[in-house]
Amino acid sequence: MPSILYEVRDGVGIITLNRPDKLNAVNREMALLLKEKLNACAADKQVRCIYITGAGKAFCAGQDLTEVDPDNEDTNLILREQYNPLVWKIRTIEKPVVGAVNGLAAGAGANLAFCCDVVIATESAYFTQAFSKIGLIPDTGGTYILPRFVGWQKASGMMMLGDKIGAIEGEKMGMLYKVFPDAVFEEETFKIAKQLANMPTKSLAMIKHALNFSAIYSFKEQLDVEDEFQKIALHSHDYKEGVKAFLEKRAPEFKGE
């Protein structure tokens, strides 16, 4: 079986991490395939939302520790070749990405989820910054993103202690957008992905970029970003359609253009 499954349904590119017996730990093959599928989603006009989930009981247990070689001088290669390009792609791809966390998410697996635009977890899922337990530091964007979600103190505690944080607590802390009961998780999460796929894709992409900039820019610079992006949005088909549909009291038909 391939370590990544991929299909397109209802405008959603569904990417499933597929090494369930290893809790979907990421080996090199999986990382490269994931990158390939994200590129396929970016290139396919039919795909207007990306949905990343895991097969079996886990979302992802992070780096496959059977593939690391602590004696290798250039161990950073894994970060440079695998995780950094992956999370950069997820943060910059011009389509919304749903992280559908169907079970535990550990190490780089947790931070991969946090890089998604909308992170939804099943009630029984948990998250752990497992890195410190094996003498590493959190990577895959975690030290940037997590303190912005939950505040410095919570992030610092989670990163140093490596505790397991359940999905319900995670939602309260601001780590997640929503949590659904296990029985309806897939159905409800996919509903949100389909909703995103039918929305004005261009404006969603610019919301994403504007949020990316907001972490580094001053308020004044951010006003300029909003001004620039709004100019583009104002000229889109979907804006015209959105206003027209509102005035005609009907549902809009967005094309993502």
Of positions 104, 150, 167, 176, contacts ligand T3D by CB under 6 A: 104
Please, what is the minimum distance in Å from the beta carbon of residue 163 to ligand T3D?
Answer: 11
Q: Which is nearer to ligand T3D, 46 or 76 (CB)?
A: 76
Q: Between 5 and 24, how does the x/- string for binding to ligand T3D read (CB under 6 A)?
A: -----------------xx-
CA 27 – CA 65 distance, rounded (Å): 8
In terms of CB distance, is 38 or 61 closer to ligand T3D?
61
Q: Name residues contacting ligand T3D, limited to 119-148 (CB under 6 A).
A: 130-131, 134, 136, 139
State which residue, 66 or 218, has the beta carbon closest to ligand T3D. Answer: 66
CB of 23 to ligand T3D, least distance (A): 4
Distance from C-alpha of 54 to C-alpha of 5, rounded to nearest angstrom:
9
**75 is an interface residue for ligand T3D by CB under 6 A:** yes
Give 137 or 232: the residue with its C-beta nearer to ligand T3D. Answer: 137
Tokens read off for 107: 């190490």
C-alpha of 135 from chain center: 26
Centre a 10 Å sphere on the Cβ of residue 242 and count the other Cβ atoms it contains: 18
Dihedral angle over CA of 208, 136, 18, 45, nearest 10:
20
- Among 46-54, 104-112, 186-194, 200-208, the segment contacting ligand T3D (CB under 6 A): 104-112
Three-state SS for 52?
strand
Is the separation of the CB atoms in 60 and 26 below 8 Å? yes
Q: d(Cα 139, Cα 108) in Å, to the nearest integer? A: 7
Q: Can residue 63 be called a binding residue for ligand T3D (CB under 6 A)? A: yes
Residue 62 or residue 99: which is nearer to ligand T3D going by CB?
A: 62
108 is a contact residue toward ligand T3D (CB under 6 A)? yes
Kindly report each contact of residues 153-162 with a partner whose C-beta sits within 8 Å and lies 24 or more positions away, as own/partner: 158/128, 158/129, 159/129, 159/131, 159/132, 160/132, 161/132, 162/128, 162/129, 162/130, 162/131, 162/132, 162/133
Could you say which of 14, 49, 106, 121 contacts ligand T3D (CB under 6 A)? Answer: 106
196 touches ligand T3D by CB under 6 A: no
What CA–CA distances, in Å, run from 104 to 115, 130, 215? 16, 11, 28
What length does the chain have?
A: 257
Comparison of 21 and 187: residue with beta carbon closer to ligand T3D: 21
The CA-CA-CA angle for residues 185, 187, 189, to 5°, reads: 65
Interface with ligand T3D (CB under 6 A), residue from 12, 38, 55, 78: 78
Interaction between residue 61 and ligand T3D (CB under 6 A)? yes
Residues that bind ligand T3D (CB under 6 A): 22-23, 25, 61-66, 68, 75, 78-79, 104, 106-108, 130-131, 134, 136, 139
